[in-house]
Amino acid sequence: MTGKIGVNIIIEREKQNGKVVFIASSPDVNVFAEGKTIDEAKRKFIEGVKIHLKTFPEEKASLIKEQKEQEYEMPLVTKVFL
C-alpha cells in the first residue's frame, strides 16, 4: 500500500448570483469546496480534506480500514432528461 487514501469526489455546477461555480463534495468525508473552475474546486477540496483528516484522525483511520476491508466501486453519476 502506498499510504495514500482514495476519496470519491462529486463536482456539481451551480449558478450563484448569476455566475457559474463548481462545488466539490464527497460521500466519504464531510468536506465541501467551491471554485470558479473544476480544477480550482478540486484543488480546494483536496486541501480541505487534508486539513479535515489532520483535525479528525479517527476519520482517516476509518477510511483506511474501509478500503482494506472492501473493494469500493465508484458510483455512476449521470443526468437523465424527462
* Whole-angstrom distance, CA of residue 71 vs CA of residue 1: 14
13 — phi, psi (to 5°)? -95, 135
Higher pLDDT, 64 or 28: 28
- How many independent structural domains does the chain possess? 1
In a domain, 1, yes or no: no
Identify the bridge partners of residue 22 per DSSP, sorted by sequence position.
13, 35
Whether residue 63 contacts residue 49, with contact meaning beta carbons closer than 8 Å, is answered with no
In a domain, 59, yes or no: yes
In a domain, 5, yes or no: no
In a domain, 82, yes or no: no
In a domain, 76, yes or no: no
Name the pTM for this structure: 0.74
Range of the domain at 26: 10-69
Q: How confident is the model over 27-50, as pLDDT tens digits?
A: 888 999 999 999 999 999 999 999
pLDDT bin (cut points 50, 70, 90) of residue 79 is low
In a domain, 4, yes or no: no
